[in-house]
């Protein structure tokens, strides 16, 4: 596959399909979108299968000097590969989730989603600073339209809040990027990752990038756009928001803040830790008192992302690997939870928790899936989030036992609000007649939830498939960070892992 | 430097003036029936001038060979690239005008002739290498523009716009003239290079005074804060094709002239005017953004948007570097496309009887009733807001890059943060078109020339144009380099 521009092809397929969707009527637009996203999924699988684990850090690189000031330069490492896989995996499911619930302006809706896919893949694959910024920032346009046109009652407020918050964060980063390009004389991200910026400048650059990524992440206290946007977005919009867009912030930290400004990262470690600790506790408590299912899951996302940021800034392999695994796991699980909400919202058109109850009786299959994803969100062993949370907390503990302690309370609170939600919706008596009359999952919903459930279990039982491609990149990141690591307080010695025999067998399978 | 070579350099201007005079005679004898042919002929004249200027831009003409009439006039690549934009914008105004005026029974041949003379004036402005040439060009343009603003003489708003424009414009010309006389008095010369040499050792009080007054007069012409007050009223009152013209061509001419004046005539004392320009830039961005928020009239909103954009263009000038001048030209090129596109779109907002619609209430839910128009406007608005991947973003990229390279970080940070305020009202535009319930008032059909212009300008600001940035960057770099040779 070397030399074949597969990344460009993955950008081109949804782009062409998006243009086509503008000009066709609803039925055809749905099919075009589904086919295009499935093609991209296949291309993604091909990408993963051909990714040489342990090979070059940057693979599938393409470069064309097309523009003035920056280049069309693509390439991925293991981290980007995993996030691209997450995007292409969730996209067909999003299209499926919108199959019947979106009835107005279907062509434009599908086009917006396909553009989103282009921009997400582009963000993860971009190897040029400004190309990254263009993809990163352009995502605002389709998301603004998705929330504003197809959202709920308060959609206009939510769309404005989403747009302006994230824009304000990003423009400061833009100026920092201009400064960096000027200082280093290049816009090539791999080169910049090795460039040592002066320590004084790093402080400002780090803060500028932080302004952008903290909003995208979102970190407390700039998270307030997220519940508004989530609640008002259509189901598929929430899935993409929670599943992939929130990961842009974490990806930004891994790709820019940490490797490019190691000293400043160490300097601001406690800022990140403090905000993360506050977020874990506060947003979990807020989630506990929500009456709106989507809002509850949205606040739980903020809490999970706080563990991600804390893990990233633990400056060790466990923390960063854990953060990546939480991001992947959370992308699947929160996406699936929003789909679960969507399933019953489509039937009853309300997200009020009190309007449901006792669904286990009339919707047993639904209850089963919902149970699995609830448990995964809590971090039950055997599900995806357990791996990430365990690794992440181990990494955080290595750096600071206090932070690890506070973050762990978040896991306990997480169990509280998720199980409380599940009890109110699925168990108990059937107090509402209309809720009791809802039919169980149909085939389309099976096809949406089934693959996610399989992936969640796969990631929980055999995380090596997902960790292997990222291992050398995260190790390289740790080496890069080693010169600035602050002293930890726990002095945890993490031993060498026992050799896993299956690695060789499974390594070639994906 | 003999007469023939001088005349050779001003052939584009000669074409414009001769055809303007001939068409004036045609109009005098032909009456209103000649309106259409005169319009077409004016377009052809502009096109001819365009293609005569193009080679010098591509070749990056600079140096003493471009000086005409003993240093009065300079036909270099910098002037050339500005002329290309001016001619294109003037041509666009001529193309969209007939449909608008015919419905009001106001299609008279003098419209095209006035646009032609205004374009000639602007052409002289950007080529000025001497204060006298500058003033001749500026006034030729202004006089034509005053009449254009009041072109619909039966319409109160148009007459008001013309009067306001004239009174304030005359005041600005007075200020400019006063500043020029001070500069002449304290330097003993009116030529740009002479002034630059005279002030090389330092600015005297009188020279500084003159410089400030000249800048104030120019700020009025580009409607930079604090000399912007006339803009919303004139833009709203003037007939829409005229507003489209005002917002594009004269802006290019005045900005190019200001750049040449600052960098060539006062280039050796950049520190003296840099702070003035920096203040005007930030004030324009902020006032342009805040002023637009409460507007309900689309033309008024676009007026504030143009004030806002001038602020970004001035950031390029505030760097006082050639990279900044080049960035300004790039920004201007996309600004012209966005302006023409947005005003053409406004022209296409008509009800079933063909009456012009200008308020936000009229375009509610436009995306369902007229999707093509709404999507073009969406792209233009996001481009004006500077959201990637549209070319408005690229304009901001090069301008801020120049600012960062010139170590003007605070200016860049304040400027870009204020651009978020601007994004708010561009979003409102999109919100009204896409999120609100349709009122279906826009029902009028537009002829193909409007659609063609709209599509062309949308393509110019679409991501496809990234492919042309390398080429455009080379042209503007060469154009900016021509300035250096002059200094």
- How much is the ipTM here? 0.91
Whole-number Å distance between alpha carbons of A255 and B147: 58
- Answer yes or no: do A171 and B389 touch at CB < 8 A: no
**A138 to B387: CB separation less than 8 angstroms, yes or no:** yes
Q: Averaged over B428-457, what is the pLDDT?
A: 87
pLDDT tops 50 at residue A91: yes
Q: How far is CA B250 from the centre of its chain?
A: 4
Q: Give A350-354 contacts, CB < 8 A, sequence gap 24+.
A: A351/A231, A351/A292, A351/A293, A351/A294, A351/A295, A352/A291, A352/A292, A352/A293, A353/A290, A353/A291, A353/A292, A353/A293, A353/A296, A353/A421, A353/A424, A353/A425, A354/A291, A354/A424
Is a pLDDT exceeding 80 seen at residue A126? yes
Calculate how close chain B gets to A215, using CA atoms only, in Å: 15
CA–CA separation, A9 vs A74, rounded Å?
11
* C-alpha neighbours within 13 Å on the C-beta side of residue B25: 5
A139: closest CA among A117, A155, A124? A117
Which stretches of chain A sit within 8 Å of chain B by CB?
A: 22, 65-69, 105, 108, 130, 133-135, 137-138, 140-141, 144-145, 148-149, 155-156, 159-160, 163-164, 167-168, 171-172, 174-175, 178-179, 181-182
**CA-to-CA dists, residue A55 to A6, A52, A240, angstroms:** 18, 5, 31
Q: Per-residue pLDDT for A161 more than 90?
A: no
**Which stretch of A190-194, B1-5, B182-186, B357-361 has the lowest confidence by average pLDDT?**
B1-5
Q: What local confidence, expressed as pLDDT, does residue B13 receive? A: 93
pLDDT average, residue stretch A57-76: 86
Q: Could you tell me the pLDDT band of residue A504, with boundaries at 50, 70 and 90?
A: very low
Distance from C-alpha of A149 to C-alpha of A151, rounded to nearest angstrom: 6
Picking from A105, A171, A181, the nearest residue to B420 by CB comes out as: A171
Helices assigned H by DSSP within A217-313: 225-232, 235-240, 246-252, 258-260, 262-267, 269-288, 293-312
What is the pLDDT averaged over residues B288-295?
88
H or E segment and range at residue B67 = strand B67-68
How high is the pLDDT of residue B166? 94
Q: Closest Cα of chain A to B380: distance in Å?
A: 12
Write down the mean pLDDT value for chain A.
Answer: 87
Mean pLDDT of B416-435: 88
| Cα B288 to Cα B227: distance, rounded to the nearest angstrom | 12
| Contact yes or no for A179 and B409 at CB 8 A | yes
Q: What is the mean pLDDT of residues B40-62?
A: 91
Q: Quote the minimal CA–CA distance from B460 to chain A in Å.
A: 15
- Which pTM does this prediction carry? 0.91
Contact B416 A137 (CB under 8 A): no
Which of A105, A141, A168 is opposite residue B387, by nearest beta carbon? Answer: A141
**Which pLDDT does position B45 carry in this prediction?**
95
- Which residues from chain A sit within 8 angstroms of residue B478, using beta carbons? none
Indicate the burial class of A501 (C-beta count within 10 angstroms; 0-12, 13-18, 19 or more). Answer: exposed
Residue B297 bridge partners (DSSP): B359
pLDDT over 80 (residue A21): yes
Percent of chain B with pLDDT over 90: 59
At A492, is the pLDDT very low, low, confident or very high (cuts 50, 70, 90)?
Answer: low
pLDDT of residue A22: 87
Q: What was the pLDDT predicted at A489?
A: 76
- Compare CB distances from B397 to A130, A149, A172 and report the shortest one's residue: A130
**What mean pLDDT is predicted for residues A157-179?**
88
8 Å CB contact between B459 and B366: no
* B435 interaction partners in chain A (CB closer than 8 Å): 148-149, 155-156, 159
Chain A to chain B Cβ contacts (< 8 Å): 92
Q: What is the mean pLDDT of residues B246-272?
A: 91
What's the whole-number mean pLDDT along residues B341-345? 93
Within 8 A of A134 by CB-CB distance, chain B residues are 388-389, 393
What are the angstrom distances between the C-alpha of B424 and each of B288, B302, B371? 12, 14, 22
pLDDT at B130 over 80: yes
Of A284, A283, A295, the C-alpha closest to A415 is: A284
Statement: residue A509 has pLDDT above 80: no
Q: Which residues does B contribute to its contact with A (CB < 8 Å)?
A: 367-368, 371, 375, 382, 387-389, 393, 397-398, 400-401, 404-405, 409, 412-413, 416-417, 419-420, 423-424, 427, 430-431, 434-435, 466-467, 469-470, 472-474
- Reported in sequence order, the residue ranges of B114-178 that DSSP labels E, i.e. its strands, are none
pLDDT at B485: 61
Which residues on chain B are in Cβ contact (under 8 Å) with A232? none
pLDDT for the residue numbered A2: 53
Q: In the prediction, which pLDDT does A353 show?
A: 85
pLDDT surpasses 90 at A159: no
Of A22, A133, A175, the CB nearest to B412: A175
pLDDT band at B487 (very low <50, low <70, confident <90, very high): very low
Can you read off the two tokens belonging to residue A403?
């932070």
> Which chain B residues are closer than 8 Å to A155 by Cβ?
435
| pLDDT confidence tier of residue A502, bands split at 50, 70 and 90 | low
Has residue B409 got a pLDDT over 70? yes
Looking at CA atoms only, how far is residue A16 from chain B in angstroms?
14
**pLDDT > 70 fraction of chain B, expressed in percent and rounded:** 99
Rg value, chain B, Cα: 21
Name the band, by pLDDT with cuts 50, 70 and 90, for residue A120.
very high
Query: What is the average per-residue pLDDT within A203-213?
Result: 90
Q: What rounded mean pLDDT belongs to chain B?
A: 90
Nearest CB to B416 within list A66, A144, A171? A171
State the average pLDDT over residues B459-484. 89
Asked if B417 lies within 8 A of A171 by C-beta distance, the reply is yes
% of chain A at pLDDT higher than 70 = 96
pLDDT above 90 for B452: yes
């Amino acid at each position: 596959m070397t030399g074949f521009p597969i990344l460009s092809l993955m950008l081109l397929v949804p782009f062409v399909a998006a243009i086509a969707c503008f000009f066709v009527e609803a039925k055809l637009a749905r099919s075009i979108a589904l086919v295009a996203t499935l093609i991209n999924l296949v291309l993604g699988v091909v990408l993963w299968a051909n990714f040489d684990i342990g090979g070059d850090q940057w693979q599938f690189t393409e470069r064309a000097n097309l523009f003035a000031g920056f280049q069309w330069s693509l390439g991925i490492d293991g981290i980007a590969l995993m996030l691209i896989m997450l995007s292409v995996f969730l996209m067909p499911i999003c299209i499926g989730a919108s199959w019947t619930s979106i009835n107005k302006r279907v062509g434009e809706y599908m086009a917006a989603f396909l553009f989103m896919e282009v921009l997400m893949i582009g963000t993860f694959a971009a190897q040029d600073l400004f190309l990254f910024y263009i993809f990163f920032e352009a995502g605002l346009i389709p998301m603004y339209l998705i929330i504003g046109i197809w959202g709920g009652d308060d959609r206009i407020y939510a769309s404005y809040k989403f747009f302006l918050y994230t824009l304000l964060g990003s423009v400061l980063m833009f100026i920092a990027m201009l400064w960096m390009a000027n200082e280093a004389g290049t816009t090539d991200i791999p080169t910049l990752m090795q460039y040592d910026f002066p320590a004084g400048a790093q402080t400002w650059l780090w803060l500028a990038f932080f302004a952008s990524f903290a909003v995208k992440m979102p970190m407390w206290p700039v998270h307030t756009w997220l519940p508004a946007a989530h609640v008002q977005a259509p189901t598929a919009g929430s899935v993409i928001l929670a599943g992939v867009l929130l990961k842009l912030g974490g990806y930004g930290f891994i790709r820019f803040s940490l490797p490019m400004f190691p000293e400043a990262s160490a300097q601001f470690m406690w800022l990140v830790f403090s905000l993360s600790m506050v977020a874990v506790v506060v947003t979990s408590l807020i989630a506990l008192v929500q009456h709106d299912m989507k809002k509850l899951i949205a606040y739980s996302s903020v809490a999970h992302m706080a563990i991600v940021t804390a893990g990233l800034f633990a400056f060790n392999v466990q923390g960063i690997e854990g953060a990546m695994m939480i991001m992947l796991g959370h992308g699947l699980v929160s996406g699936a939870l929003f789909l679960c909400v969507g399933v019953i919202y489509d039937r009853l058109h309300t997200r009020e928790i009190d309007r449901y109850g006792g669904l286990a009786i009339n919707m047993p299959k639904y209850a089963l899936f919902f149970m699995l994803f609830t448990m995964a969100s809590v971090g039950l062993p055997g599900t995806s989030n357990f791996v990430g949370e365990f690794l992440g907390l181990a990494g955080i503990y290595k750096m600071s036992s206090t932070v690890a302690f506070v973050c762990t309370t978040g896991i306990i609170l997480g169990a509280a609000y998720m199980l409380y939600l599940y009890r109110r919706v699925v168990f108990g008596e059937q107090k509402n007649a209309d809720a009791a009359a809802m039919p169980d999952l149909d085939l389309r919903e099976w096809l949406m939830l089934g693959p996610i459930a399989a992936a969640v279990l796969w990631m929980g039982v055999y995380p090596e498939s997902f960790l292997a491609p990222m291992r050398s990149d995260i190790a390289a990141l740790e080496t890069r960070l080693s010169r600035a690591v602050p002293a930890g307080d726990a002095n945890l010695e993490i031993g060498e892992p026992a050799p896993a025999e299956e690695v060789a067998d499974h390594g070639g399978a994906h | 430097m003999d007469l023939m070579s001088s005349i050779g350099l001003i052939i584009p201007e000669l074409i414009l003036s001769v055809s303007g005079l001939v068409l004036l005679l045609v109009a005098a004898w032909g009456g209103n029936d000649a309106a259409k042919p005169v319009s077409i002929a004016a377009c052809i004249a502009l096109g001819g001038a365009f293609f005569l200027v193009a080679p010098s831009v591509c070749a990056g003409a600079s140096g003493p060979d471009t000086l005409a009439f003993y240093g009065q006039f300079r036909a270099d690549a910098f002037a050339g690239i500005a002329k290309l934009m001016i001619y294109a914008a003037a041509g666009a105004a001529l193309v969209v005008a007939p449909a608008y005026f015919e419905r009001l029974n106001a299609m008279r041949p003098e419209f095209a002739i006035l646009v032609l003379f205004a374009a000639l004036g602007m052409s002289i402005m950007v080529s000025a290498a001497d204060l006298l040439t500058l003033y001749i060009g500026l006034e030729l343009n202004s006089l034509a523009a005053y009449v254009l603003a009041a072109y619909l003489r039966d319409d109160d708003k148009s007459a008001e716009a013309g009067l306001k424009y004239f009174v304030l414009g005359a005041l600005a010309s007075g200020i400019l003239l006063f500043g020029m006389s001070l500069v002449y008095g304290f330097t003993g010369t009116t030529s740009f290079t002479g002034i630059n040499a005279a002030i090389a050792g330092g600015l005297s009080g009188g020279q500084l005074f003159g410089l400030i007054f000249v800048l104030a007069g120019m700020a009025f012409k580009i409607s930079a804060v604090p000399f912007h007050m006339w803009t919303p009223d004139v833009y709203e009152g003037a007939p829409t094709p005229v507003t489209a013209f005002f917002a594009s061509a004269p802006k290019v001419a005045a900005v190019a002239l200001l750049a040449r004046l600052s960098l060539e005539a006062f280039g050796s004392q950049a520190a003296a005017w840099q702070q003035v320009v920096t203040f005007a830039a930030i004030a324009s961005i902020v006032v342009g953004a805040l002023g637009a928020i409460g507007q309900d009239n689309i033309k008024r909103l676009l007026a504030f948007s143009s004030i806002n954009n001038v602020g970004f263009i001035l950031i390029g000038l505030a760097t006082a570097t050639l990279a900044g001048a080049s960035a300004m030209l790039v920004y201007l090129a996309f600004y012209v496309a966005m302006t023409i596109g947005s005003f053409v779109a406004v022209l296409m907002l008509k009800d079933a009887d063909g009456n012009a619609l200008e308020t936000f209430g009229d375009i509610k839910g436009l995306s369902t009733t007229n999707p093509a128009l709404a999507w073009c406007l969406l792209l233009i608005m996001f481009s004006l807001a500077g959201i990637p991947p549209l070319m408005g973003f690229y304009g901001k990229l090069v301008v801020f890059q120049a600012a960062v390279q010139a170590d003007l970080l605070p200016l860049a940070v304040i400027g870009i943060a204020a651009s978020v305020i601007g994004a708010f009202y561009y979003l409102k535009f999109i919100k009204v078109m896409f999120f609100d319930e349709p009122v279906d008032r826009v029902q009028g059909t537009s002829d193909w020339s409007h659609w063609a212009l709209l599509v062309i300008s949308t393509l110019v600001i679409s991501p496809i144009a990234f492919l042309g940035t390398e080429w455009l960057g080379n042209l503007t770099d060469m154009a900016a380099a021509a300035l250096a040779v002059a200094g």
